Structure 1
Amino acid sequence: MDVTPTGSPETAAGPLVSAAAVVENGRLLVVSKTAAPGLFYLPGGKPEPGETAREALVRELGEELGMRPRSLTPLTEIRATAALEGVPMTMTVFRATLEGRPAPAAEIAALRWTDGTGLDLAPAVRDHVLPLVL
Structure 2
Amino acid sequence: MEVVAAAVLVDRRLLTVSKTVAPHVFYLPGGKPDAGEPQEQTLARELSEELSTTPVDVQPYLVVQAPAALEGVPMRMTVYRCRLAAPPRLAAELADSRWITSAGLRAPDVLAPALRDVLLPRLVQDGLLAA
Scaled by the length of structure 2, what TM-score is found? 0.88
CA apart distance, 1:130: 1.1
For 1:71 and 1:33, locate their aligned partners in 2 and report how far apart those are by CA, in whole Å: 26
Aligned length: 120
Is 2:4 aligned against 1:18? yes
Residue segments in structure 2 that go unaligned for 5+ positions in a row: 124-128
Contact 1:103 1:111 in 2 (8 A): no
Is 2:114 aligned against 1:128? no
Contact 1:74 1:93 in 2 (8 A): yes
Amino acid at match of 2:18: S
For 2:105 and 2:46, locate their aligned partners in 1 and report how far apart those are by CA, in whole Å: 26
Which residue of structure 1 aligns with residue 25 of structure 2? 39
Aligned-pair identity (%): 53
CA apart distance, 1:71: 1.5
For 2:6 and 2:42, locate their aligned partners in 1 and report how far apart those are by CA, in whole Å: 11
Scaled by the length of structure 1, what TM-score is found? 0.86
Indicate the RMSD between aligned Cα atoms, in angstroms.
0.9
Residue segments in structure 1 that go unaligned for 5+ positions in a row: 1-14
CA apart distance, 1:35: 0.9
Question: SS of the counterpart of 1:50?
Answer: coil
CA apart distance, 1:132: 2.3
Contact 1:18 1:93 in 2 (8 A): yes
